[in-house]
């Protein structure tokens, strides 16, 4: 009888759940998922939770395989030498292989007053704190959303459609990822919803107070509620555990998602930095990386050589309230194309993506190995970039102790 292998997955988001489900392909593998929350957070819907138009929580029984043991706790340290993790509750869990999928959250803003007076929206807890603040503010109170990436745009649109007076402060370009045509479509829709969009370098926020937002050009905006969506940060668990990370704190790996320090540790999702060239933080990246991380572990258990990651992209989709949206098509290298679909079609496509994500996870839970999007051909440009870097220097990553 084959010896049992214990695999611990840290983090129960898109990448962690995909990896955990896929690992149950082998009957001789025991999978433990450690997550601080008892429910799955569907981050693509957090702006709906903030706007009061939907929920962002899914029961793990809907997306997690029956064979995965869920431990509701927080990992405070990884002991790679002893192959174990320490829990906030005081216990420890040993492992033969570890999947590091701790995800991302709100960074500590370095703008004076932002940490004290602005509300982030990157996590479930952030959204749950923001919702009562909005409810407590008068219906006419001005709302300022700082940051014009997908989260900022979607949050601003959701609140404006609900009747709020919203100003979206870009600090630069509206929707930096978008093609100019897609950007114009988003701008028209936001204007139709009554959102005031402030873009350009002069719109950078220099300070936040209890009821104002100050900009680089000297303007002071009244703000009853300020929402901070500028950027993402990652937990410092890897760095605290003595593992090599990039400057942001993502675990440094090779192209099989294996830690540069320990072949028994693999990473997936927003907290992974393959070859020091991390991919865009998104569920479009997280789920394929979760599948790839699981495949790497399963290959090692089988004594096989793991395959390298192959990450093609397809699009970025935005909801602009409940009735419209933009589906921005992209090249496989994650560069936006000139073609997009907007209006009700864009909204329907966005909803299909949100529902499809949960379905992919549920399908993998019922039939491990069913997910195959991480094997779609692509990644030639990434391989070329890696080869160029290797030719220029012997190391493809610059570890941060």
Phi/psi of residue 170, each to 5°? -80, -35
3-state secondary structure of 93: strand
- Element at 355 (helix H, strand E): helix 343-366
pLDDT of amino acid 2: 58
Q: What pTM was computed for the model?
A: 0.93
**Residue-by-residue DSSP string for 317-342:** EEE-SSS-EEEEEE-TTS-EEEEEEE
Gap between the terminal Cα atoms of the chain: 41
Torsion angle, CA of 374/375/381/386, rounded to 10 degrees? 80
Alpha helix (H) residue ranges in 118-255: 124-136, 150-161, 180-193, 237-240
Radius of gyration of the chain (CA): 21
3-state secondary structure of 140: coil
Q: Which residues of the chain have pLDDT under 50?
A: 1, 396-401
Note the maximum CA span of the chain. 72
Task: Answer yes or no: are the C-beta atoms of 253 and 260 closer than 8 Å.
Answer: yes
Note the pLDDT tens digit of each residue in 157-170: 999 999 999 999 99
d(CA 388, CA 394): 11
d(CA 298, CA 381): 27
**Nearest in space to 320 (alpha carbons), one of 53, 33, 81:** 53
Phi/psi of residue 322, each to 5°? -90, -10
pLDDT of amino acid 31: 98
d(CA 237, CA 94): 17
pLDDT of amino acid 401: 35
Positive or negative torsion for Cα 92, 98, 99, 105: positive
3-state secondary structure of 120: strand
- Element at 293 (helix H, strand E): helix 283-301
- Element at 84 (helix H, strand E): strand 84-87
Any long-range contacts for 81-89 (C-beta under 8 Å, 24+ apart)? 83/264, 85/8, 85/10, 85/34, 87/34
Can you read off the two tokens belonging to residue 258?
A: 């294996």
Positive or negative torsion for Cα 362, 363, 364, 366: positive
**Residue-by-residue DSSP string for 19-63:** HHHHHTTSTTEEEEEEESSSSEE-GGGHHHHHHTS---EE-HHHH
**Nearest in space to 233 (alpha carbons), one of 217, 220, 244, 247:** 247
Cβ partners under 8 Å of residue 380, min gap 6: none
Task: Answer yes or no: are the C-beta atoms of 130 and 119 closer than 8 Å.
Answer: yes
The burial class, CB within 10 Å (0-12 / 13-18 / 19+), for 82 is exposed
Can you read off the two tokens belonging to residue 361?
A: 């996870």
Can you read off the two tokens belonging to residue 141?
A: 């109170």
d(CA 328, CA 279): 18
3-state secondary structure of 161: helix
């Amino acid at each position: 009888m084959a010896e049992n292998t214990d695999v611990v997955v840290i983090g129960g988001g898109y990448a962690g759940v995909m990896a955990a489900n896929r690992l149950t392909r082998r009957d001789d593998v025991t999978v433990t998922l450690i997550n601080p929350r008892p429910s799955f957070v569907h981050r693509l819907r957090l702006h709906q939770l903030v706007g009061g138009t939907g929920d962002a929580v899914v029961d793990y029984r809907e997306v997690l395989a029956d064979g995965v043991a869920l431990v509701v706790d927080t990992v405070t340290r990884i002991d790679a030498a002893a192959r174990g993790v320490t829990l906030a509750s005081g216990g420890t869990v040993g492992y033969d292989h570890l999947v590091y999928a701790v995800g991302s959250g709100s960074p500590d803003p370095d703008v004076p007053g932002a940490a004290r007076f602005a509300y982030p929206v990157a996590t479930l807890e952030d959204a749950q704190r923001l919702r009562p603040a909005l409810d407590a503010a008068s219906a006419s109170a001005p709302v300022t959303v700082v940051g014009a990436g997908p989260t900022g745009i979607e949050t601003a649109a959701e609140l404006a459609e609900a009747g709020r007076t919203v100003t979206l402060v870009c600090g630069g370009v509206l929707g930096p990822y978008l093609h100019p045509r897609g950007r114009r479509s988003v701008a028209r829709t936001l204007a139709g919803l009554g959102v005031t969009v402030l873009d350009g370098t002069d719109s950078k926020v220099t300070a936040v107070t209890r009821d104002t937002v100050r900009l680089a050009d000297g303007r002071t905006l009244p703000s009853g509620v300020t929402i901070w969506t500028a950027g993402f940060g990652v937990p410092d668990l890897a760095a605290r555990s003595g593992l090599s990370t990039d400057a942001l704190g993502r675990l440094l790996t090779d192209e099989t998602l294996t830690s540069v320090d320990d072949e028994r540790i693999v990473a997936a999702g927003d907290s992974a930095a393959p070859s020091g060239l991390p991919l865009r933080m998104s569920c479009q990246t997280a789920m394929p990386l979760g599948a790839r991380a699981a495949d790497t572990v399963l290959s090692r258990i089988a004594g096989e050589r793991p395959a390298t990651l192959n990450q093609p992209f397809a699009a970025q989709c935005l909801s602009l309230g409940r009735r419209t949206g933009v589906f921005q098509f992209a090249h496989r290298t994650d560069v936006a194309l000139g073609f997009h679909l907007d209006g009700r079609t864009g909204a329907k496509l966005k909803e299909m993506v949100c529902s499809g994500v949960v379905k992919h996870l549920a399908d993998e839970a019922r039939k491990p190995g069913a997910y195959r999007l991480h094997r779609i051909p692509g990644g030639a440009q990434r391989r070329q970039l890696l080869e160029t870097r290797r030719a220029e220097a012997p190391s493809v990553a610059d570890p941060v102790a």
